[in-house]
Amino acid sequence: MSSPLGSPGAAAWRLEAEAVVADIAPHVAFAAPSSLPGDSSGTYLNITTLEGRQMTVRVSAGGFSICGDKHDTCGGTSEGDTPLSSQGGGGADGKVYETPYALLNDVSPAYTAAFSRALVDRLGELAENGSDDEERAEERGKEQNDGGERSGEVKDGGMNSAKEDGLSNMNSSETT
């Protein structure tokens, strides 16, 4: 059975779920694709926040929504009971989030804190390594400039020297 044009199939939604899990895993206690059956309209994730809150999240083209307050549950049903395409708009709380990060920011202060810490740490690493990178870039720039001057290349494409030659010729013709 093929999916409608422009709509990813169940396998594509499963890959999306796995990518989301890899992205959020460092900032939650648990994240994995759910065993609930996905279809061409979306799939499910199981998440446990750092505060210990379990949830099943529906992932679809409409966004991310909490549909169950335990793993592998959606709308009071458990694994295998209700296919995704038969479910309505938002999740259990009616909210649909554009990204998993927005969902987690809303429901888990510990996620927000963990993500912020990781961001600050990474920016600190970049700042430390960035000064080394800047020094290397400056050295490369100097080497390129030195190399260009040694080989007789003209950095401005010869425009200034041509203008200067033209002016000096005009000046010399005016004086004679």
Pick the CATH number of 8-76+92-128 from 1.20.1640.10, 3.30.590.20, 3.20.80.10, 3.30.2280.10: 3.30.2280.10
The model's pLDDT over 44-97, given as tens digits with 9 standing for 90+, comes to: 999 999 999 999 999 999 999 999 999 999 985 555 444 443 444 455 568 999
Q: What is the mean pLDDT of residues 5-29?
A: 87
DSSP 147-176: HHHHTT--TTTTHHHHHHHHHHHHHHHHH-
Length of the chain: 176
Q: What is the pTM of this model?
A: 0.63
- The pLDDT value given to residue 142: 74
In this prediction, residue 75 carries a pLDDT of 83
Closest alpha carbon to 41 in 6, 66, 92, 81: 6
What single DSSP character describes residue 8? -
- The whole-angstrom separation of Cα 43 and Cα 36 is 8
User: Could you give the percent of the chain with pLDDT greater than 70?
Assistant: 64
The answer to whether residue 15 scores a pLDDT higher than 70 is: yes
pLDDT of residue 129: 87
Overall average pLDDT of the 97-119 stretch: 95
